[in-house]
Structure 1
Amino acid sequence: MFASSTLTGSKPEQYAQLLEQARALVHGEADRIANAANLSALLYHALPDLNWVGFYLFDGKELVVGPFQGLPACVRIPLDKGVCGAAARLRTTQRIDDVDAFPGHIACDSASRSELVVPLVHGDTLVGVLDIDSPRLGRFDAEDQAGLEAIAQVFLDALR
């Protein structure tokens, strides 16, 4: 089926490889749960220094945990709480170097020190967020943000 491979080259080259793998995983599949599950696994196993990768899906009121890799997570996140809520509410990626310095941060996993959350917006509709946590401060940079936003777009493009 699908075998993980070691990423090579510079960080942008690695994200290009991940993007190709993400496209292959969702090709011909429109089910958001299946695609979220596979993309969570892909990212969790391919990228270093992560302790949680997953999707929160918007139910019309709040974010509800969807497919993920990592320790058990918070089940529901209001749009006015935490990094995930901010990304969904503002519809902008949140790249947080130190989650303890983020007002209203929700500590689902006390080991998380930095976080990157990409809002998932299809047309004008909020679908949810892609949430990536790391136990390392300052884990995510602009290259990570661009690469993960591109992978989030692959998820959105597969929706019908």
Structure 2
Amino acid sequence: MSQLTAHSTEKAHSYEQLLKQLTALCEDETDRLANLSNASALLNQSLGDINWIGFYLWKDSELVLGPFQGLPACIRIPYGKGVCGTAIQEGKTQRVDDVMAFPGHIACDSASKSEIVMPLYTGQDIYGVLDIDSPINSRFDETDQLYLEKFAKEIERLIQK
């Protein structure tokens, strides 16, 4: 699959294919960690200009590192701290063009310049977040957010089986 860096129409088409790949890859598997591992690998393979992709899982009132692709990362993130903790606190996607300007940013990798984080739920309960970092400022646009939120919704559906 070509990297998702083309114009919006081509990007949307590539994301639609990515969603189909995720479903085909994980549909018959019930192990959550296996599905999250494959989802992070699929995104890492498909998205251009990223340096970290992965999941933090909600455990004992904090986010704990889950399956990921990239350099070693922060293991625990408190509620409301950094971009990931803020996504959980506010219950909505955080798209940050310049992480250095984000109050309380947690710098796990100094190469990261922009970030997008989608909260994940099982029903009404927090499950965790999908976190993607880029070494480029303003890497993520509205199209990325729309389709990565769809990707997160499909992850939620898959982990509720």
SS in 1 for 2:116: strand
Q: Which residue of 1 aligns with 2:42?
A: 42
| Cα distance between partner residues in 2 of 1:127 and 1:66 | 11
| C-alpha contact 2:3 2:48 (8 A) present in aligned 1 | no
Q: Report the CA distance between 1:6 and its aligned residue.
A: 2.6
| Cα distance between partner residues in 1 of 2:124 and 2:138 | 31
- How high is the TM-score relative to the length of structure 2? 0.93
- Uncovered stretches (5+) of structure 1, i.e. residues with no partner: none
| Cα distance between partner residues in 1 of 2:10 and 2:130 | 23
Q: Which residue of 2 aligns with 1:17?
A: 17
Q: Report the CA distance between 1:136 and its aligned residue.
A: 0.2
| Cα distance between partner residues in 1 of 2:89 and 2:31 | 24
- Uncovered stretches (5+) of structure 2, i.e. residues with no partner: none
The runs of at least 4 consecutive aligned structure 1 residues that moved more than 2 Å come to 5-9
1:6-155 equivalent positions in 2, closer than 5 A: 6=2, 10-155=10-155
SS in 2 for 1:64: strand
| Cα distance between partner residues in 2 of 1:106 and 1:83 | 8
| Cα distance between partner residues in 2 of 1:128 and 1:41 | 17
Percent of aligned pairs sharing the same letter: 56
Q: Report the CA distance between 1:7 and its aligned residue.
A: 5.5
Q: CA RMSD in A?
A: 1.2
* Paired residue total: 156
| C-alpha contact 2:80 2:88 (8 A) present in aligned 1 | no
| C-alpha contact 1:113 1:133 (8 A) present in aligned 2 | yes
- The CA deviation string for residues 93-130 of structure 1, in whole angstroms up to 9 with x for no partner, is 00000000000000000000000000001211000000
Code of the residue aligned with 2:133 in structure 1: it is D
Code of the residue aligned with 1:61 in structure 2: it is S
- The CA deviation string for residues 43-87 of structure 1, in whole angstroms up to 9 with x for no partner, is 011110000000000013100000000000000000121000000
| Cα distance between partner residues in 2 of 1:20 and 1:56 | 23
| Cα distance between partner residues in 2 of 1:22 and 1:152 | 11
